[in-house]
Structure 1
Amino acid sequence: MDVVTLGETMALFTPDSTGLMRYAHTYSRKYGGAESNFAIGLARLGHETGWISKVGDDELGKGLLSFVRGEGVDVSQVTIDESAPTGLYFKEIRNSSDIRVQYYRKGSAASRMSPSDLNEEYLSKAKYLHLTGITPALSDSCYELMLEAIRIAKKHSIKVIFDPNIRKSLWSEEKARDVLLELASQSDIILPGEAEGEFLFGKTNPEELGKKFIELGGASLVVLKVGAKGAYFFTNNEAKLVPGFTVEQVIDPVGAGDGFAAGFVSGLLDNLSIEESVLRGNAVGAIVTMVNGDVEGLPDKKEVQRYINQTGEDVSR
């Protein structure tokens, strides 16, 4: 197994019309969640991924499992909760530059995940463990789940990748800051966004943020996403900006960060340099924004390389 990730995936409903959702009468149904988006992205790039979660014993949960399994992700560690529902969220597209997301996930099956849902033997076979800051915000038991997953990963020398992926609506800012910094300090690779770095450290300068994350003591590599400008990477002795790609028309930015993570980790798994891996992440993130939906735009490896070559941004030399 190349990568194991864990977290909640929900049924996604999007109005077929733009504008205020109160006027929408028909919706399309898809599925989405940061961790499963990431796992699907890696699977499309040719890697073996496993996803740990919990869904309700309902039609949405069954459809969700079928969908993720059909995308080539191992779902053998997903359990079914007969007394809690599968979570929902709605994506309101008011216009091309104003897209809002509303979650209905309180008391969901995934929020009931706990350390007992982890299979140490299964986790021990992974090269990387991917975690986000969404999961510990769901419940105290999910927070404990994260700590146990990290403990198992450390025991088996599995590198921990942490994407803060802040969801302020799920908890207080003080608790979010404390927990996310705690988890980041225990991670080997951190993938924050620029706004997340500012939230955690109160600074806006990318170089300062990179230094702050490295100083937490756990990570040997930090990749700071700075939107259309691309992403910086920081190690103990190197800092560099890898330029992003120009997207003429952004259709749907939701899921771009998950696509970036998938592209970046794919590069690491393919033994690319850090710079080449970040470039692949930038490319996947850009491609995702051109398609409506969280996972619908995730590319395969040939498409990514073709996109990089066409834009003249190939750093392989």
Structure 2
Amino acid sequence: MPEVVTLGETMVLFNSMNTGPMKYVTHFAKQIAGAETNFAIGVCRLGHTAGWISRVGKDEFGKYIVSFVRGEGVDTSQVKVDSEAPTGVLFKERQEEGESKVYYYRKGSAASRMTPEDIDPNYLQGAKYLHISGITPALSDSCYETILEAIRIAKSRNVTISFDPNIRLKLWSEERAREVIMGLIPEVDIVLPGLEEGRLLVGANEPEEIAASLLKAGAKIVAVKCGAKGAYYAAGDSAEFIPGYPVARVVDPVGAGDGFAAGFISGLLKGWSYSESVKLANAVGARATQVIGDVEGLPTFEEVEVFLGQRKEIER
């Protein structure tokens, strides 16, 4: 059984090959996009095992996604093929500077039809971590129930639960996002919000305040992602701000947060301290921004060592 299990929707991504408004884009690259598979692939590249629970449509896009994810070493045995709903699609509009924009075509998708029955309790037996995101409960009521069931099963088997809020306001309102996500905080162990997400959830501006509020709400460990500046973590009596790693040019920022989560959980799987795990998370997140695509820039552990100057790369 895999060390880490995750569940959620992965879509086919059509990534614009030139920058500017979508109406002027003429060429796209076909890739995949999904916070949970980004995370799972990142974990596998760092030397661990991961499994993914989901649904895809009985279509060529579904075949492509499963083949790609499986090819990255992620176990896809728990992915079901839905013959009555399509695989979700999104388009990414890229800018020379600033955040990319995404346009979803996922309503009524196969993954949005996930139910608690899609989870085999035995699949979590022996797993060390269950990783979930705030995207999945936003997809549908049945997806929300599926997340609650996954949490229940994980807790019954003493599996540590990590949670990335991953708020997507194109999927639901601020009020509903806050209500659901804050309701999940007491049920999980590790919370990995971005700075803006923390502000939306608890109304605080500083990472220290955000972490304190989420710990008070029931989380055991909180790591607040602060972009290129780094990340602040707090757990019990331990708290520290860990500086980030500058990169010469950010090519594509999407997926960096999922890379951070993969790096943090990888560090914990290796038995490292919270501080060391956040350092690895920062490095993975930074490295992920240097390549176009959500997963293409996620590094292996050896590539992280090269990035940090701990290993010399032989180029020829």
TM class by shorter chain equals: over 0.9
The match for 2:200 is: 199
1:20 Cα deviation (Å)?
1.6
Give the superposition deviation at 1:216. 1.0
Structure 2 CA distance for partners of 1:194 and 1:98, relative to 1, 3 Å = closer
Q: Distance in 2 between matches of 1:186 and 1:108?
A: 27
Partner of 2:314: none
Pairing of 1:97-246 with structure 2 (within 5 A): 97-217=98-218, 219-246=219-246
Structure 1 residue 136, shift from structure 2 partner = 0.1
TM-score (norm 1): 0.96
Report SS of the residue matched to 1:170: coil
Letter matched to residue 200 of structure 2: F
Instruction: Give the secondary structure class of the aligned counterpart of 2:242.
Output: strand
Amino acid at match of 1:230: G
1:87 aligns with 2:93: no
Deviation by residue 1:64-101 (Cα, 9 ceiling, x = unmatched): 10000000000000000001000000111132334211
1:119/1:98 CA distance change after superposition, 3 Å: closer
Q: For the residues of structure 1 that align with 2:214 and 2:99, how far apart are their CA atoms? A: 31
Contact 2:43 2:50 in 1 (8 A): yes
Q: Hey, what does 2:277 align to over in structure 1?
A: 277
Residue type at the aligned position of 1:76 = S
Contact 1:96 1:251 in 2 (8 A): no
CA shift for structure 1 position 310: 5.9
Q: 1:231-281, CA deviations, whole angstroms, 9 ceiling, x for partnerless residues?
A: 011012122101001112100000000001111111000111110100000
Give the distance between the partners of 2:186 and 2:199, measured in 1 at CA. Answer: 17
- The one-letter amino acid paired with 2:127 is A
Q: Quick one: which amino acid aligns to residue 92 of structure 1?
A: E
- Distance (Å, rounded) in 1 between the aligned partners of 2:53 and 2:227: 29
Q: TM-score, normalised by structure 2?
A: 0.96
CA apart distance, 1:16: 2.2
Unaligned 5+ runs, structure 1: 312-317
Q: Residue 54 of structure 2 contacts residue 114 of structure 2 at CA under 8 Å; is this kept in 1?
A: yes
Q: Secondary structure at the match of 1:30?
A: strand
Partner Cα distance (2:7, 2:155) in 1: 16
Give RMSD over aligned pairs. 1.1
Equivalent residue for 2:48? Answer: 47
Q: Is the 8 A contact 1:262 1:281 kept in 2?
A: yes
Q: Does 1:292 align with 2:285?
A: no
- Partner Cα distance (1:173, 1:260) in 2: 24
In the TM superposition, residue 46 of structure 1 has moved relative to its aligned partner by 0.9
Q: CA offset at residue 229 of structure 1?
A: 1.0
Amino acid at match of 1:193: G
SS state at 1:290 partner: coil
Identity of aligned residues (%): 57
Which position in structure 1 is the counterpart of 2:70?
Answer: 69
Per the TM alignment, residue 225 of structure 1 is displaced from its structure 2 partner at its CA by 0.6
- Give the equivalent residue in structure 1 for 2:97: 96
Unaligned runs of 5+ in 2: 312-316
Instruction: Give 1:171's aligned amino acid.
Output: W
TM-superposed deviation, 1:125: 2.3
In 2, distance between residues paired with 1:286 and 1:24?
A: 27
What CA deviation, in whole Å up to 9, does each residue of 1:264-309 have, x standing for no partner?
1110001111101000000000000011100001111111122123
The 8 Å contact of residues 124 and 152 in structure 1, kept in 2 or not, is answered as: no
Given that 2:214 and 2:222 are in contact with CA atoms closer than 8 Å, whether structure 1 keeps it comes out as yes
Q: Does 1:259 align with 2:259?
A: yes
Q: SS in structure 1 opposite 2:32?
A: strand
* 2:206 partner letter: N
